[in-house]
Structures are given as structure tokens and as C-alpha cells.
Amino acid sequence: MEQPRGNETTQRPADLASIREAHDRIRPHIHRTPVITCRALDDIVAHAASVGAEAGSFRHDRARLFFKCENLQKAGAFKSRGACNAVFSLEAAEAERGVVTHSSGNHAAALARAAALRGIPAYIVMPSNAPAVKVAAVKHYGGRITFCEPTLAARESTAESVLRETGGTMIHPYNDERIIAGQGTAAVEFLEDVPELDVIMTPVGGGGLLAGTAIAAKSLKPEITVVAGEPQLADDAFRSLQAGEIIPVGPQDACGPTHPSGVGPTTTIADGLKTSLGDKTFAVIRRLVDAIVLASEAGIARGLELTLTRMKTVIEPSSAVPLAAILENPAPFAGKRVGIVLSGGNLDLTQLPRMLEHKEDEG
């Protein structure tokens, strides 16, 4: 996805130093989110591993899961980290003109909030079919919304028009070094709190969280394994990593990309992950990420339900994808201490029954 140029300055590639600088910069504006565990989920993963094992071959080397609760972050998602870093990185003269983005999800609210904290305008381009709860969040934080047709082309062209009219600075949702560095601060906290992690895992959509996590984790602990969970129905990152080049989800808006099978728009309930990688995020992912593991819709729905009922923790479907991927592919995680970033908690409760319809009948 091309990033509108606007008035953006040359960006320094994200590295551990810039992630630490970002952490210092944003610390007053974010939560240091807790890490929690759940013995019941460890048991369920162990059972899933035993079901797929040959008789007598299952070893009782249980995976231990640790959850970094970015669902409890300001504005309800990890996006506040990158947005705050980008906004508070701007020089004063640049900041006065405001910031611009196109987003239908958590980045829109996070950027509006960060701009409000700095006292500058945020111009947010949103598709006309954006969820009402997301629109309400942007308005709550004072974002100035321009609606457009629900296509990627319309979003980008509308953002270009807003940039010309306002002279603002484009803050891309993920394909921005300041955003990547900000998102990487979650992994720094995670490894400070649980330094013995063997694996660190995030969902992947546009790749900002995954790229920032990979840079931070591999810099702090080179032997750690970095893994992403991705829906089978929006598996562009998985296919891109295999192909060695970016394979986009499709020509349509991030709210409704076309599945590579050609059957039409994807129907994954993990709506925050229907986004193609950017060139900046893909370069990092290709270099530092060890694996992307896919999850079915039934698995994602089950992961969502288990997190709600067993951990008593509210997350959005995208956050359930790593757990779903582990439950459906448990063998590589046996005996490992696995850290999972719960990316967000902005769950649309009106849609919850529909989401859980995907779950398999477990009899």
C-alpha cells in the first residue's frame, strides 16, 4: 500500500534505540499493561496437543501461555503506542498543521486521541461503512472525520485531498517507522516482565505490531522465536512470506478484501487483520519473523469465547487469532513459554452472537 507523502519528514528506520526512545516519549500517555496467565487455557492447549499425538507418544511438556493485555491500553488497543509516538515526534511547526490518516479501526481513534493530547487537529478519513462504534470513538476524541466510499482507492485519494487542504502530516496506520517503533514498546515491556519467554506472538494485519515486536524481541533476546497468527481467510502475510514479496489481500477496502481464491470478499471475523502488508513492515517481517501460523474461523471464534469465558477478559476477534493458531497447531509450542499480545479490546457486543456462530459444535 502506498503511503501519501504529505509533509512527512525522512523517517529513521526503527531499531531498538528508536523503540526505547519511543518508550520514553509515550510513557506519560499510555498504560504499562499487565501480563496475565490462565491455567485453564494451558490445560486446553495441552489437551489439544494430546489429541493429535500418537498413542503413548504425548509428552507432558505443557506450553505455558502469558498474555500481554493491550486490550486494556488507552483507546482500547496497542495502536495508542504508535500513534502517540508519531504525534509527539513531530516538530512544533509541523504539528500545528495537524495529522491525517485513513483508517476504519483502532488507529483512527488512537490518532485522534494522541492529537487531542497534543492539542492539534486530527483529520481522519473513514469509509462510509465503518463500524458505528469506531466512528463514535473517533468523534469522542475530537477527530475530524471525512467519509468516503468503502474502497482502498477512495480512502487513499480522499486522504490525499485532505493533505492538500490542510497541510497536515500523514500518519499511516502501520507503514511508518514511528508507528513501528511505538508498537515495539509493548514487546520491551513484555520481556522485562517475563524475560524467560521462548516465543512471542502477535496477530498480523498490516504488520506494524509484528514488525515492532520482532525488532524489539530479537534485539533483546536473539534466540527468541517470533510468530504471528493470521486468519486463513485473510492470509496475505503468510503467502507474502512464502513468496518473498508482498501479495496484497485484494483491490478492495481493508474492510472487505478479496480472498485469493477469487470467491469474493473475505468473511473473517478478525476484521482488524484484513489489511495488506506495507513495504516497511514486510522488510522487517521477512528478515526477523520465524513463522506465520494460520487459524480457521471456527478456531478464532473458539479462541474469542475461551478468552471471554475462561480468562474473563474482553478482547476483539483479531486478538483471539494467536490463541486460535496455537489450539489448531499445538505441537510446535509444546514445552514452550509463549507470550501472546492481546492486541485490542474494542469488541462490538452487538456482533458477538454472529461471531460466535462460527464456532464448531463441540458436542
End-to-end CA distance of the chain: 43
- Residues 217 and 190: their CA atoms lie apart, in Å, by 9
Burial 226-253 (b: 16+ CB within 10 A, else e): bbbbbbbbbbbbbbbbeeeebbbbbebb
Rounded to an integer, what distance in angstroms lies between the CA atom of residue 85 and that of residue 178? 6
Of 79, 134, 218, 274, the catalytic one is 79
Q: Is 79 a catalytic residue?
A: yes
β-partners of residue 339 are 66, 200
Which of 89, 104, 219, 296 is catalytic? The answer is 104
Q: Contact, 341 vs 212, CB < 8 A? A: no
Burial 192-214 (b: 16+ CB within 10 A, else e): eebeebbbbbbbbbbbbbbbbbb
Q: How far apart are CA 356 and CA 348, in angstroms?
A: 12
Q: Tell me the C-alpha distance between 318 and 300, whole Å.
A: 8
Is residue 157 flagged as an active site residue?
no
CB-based contacts of 19-25 (< 8 A; 24+ apart in sequence): 19/181, 19/184, 19/185, 19/188, 19/212, 19/215, 19/216, 19/219, 20/188, 21/181, 22/81, 22/85, 22/178, 22/181, 22/182, 22/184, 22/185, 23/185, 23/188, 25/84, 25/85, 25/88, 25/89
Question: What does residue 137 show for φ and ψ, rounded to 5 degrees?
Answer: -65, -45
Distance (Å, whole) CA 210 – CA 214: 6
- CA dihedral angle for residue 101, residue 105, residue 107, residue 111, rounded to 10 degrees: 70
Do residues 141 and 112 lie in contact, with contact meaning Cβ atoms separated by under 8 Å?
Answer: yes
Catalytic positions: 79, 104
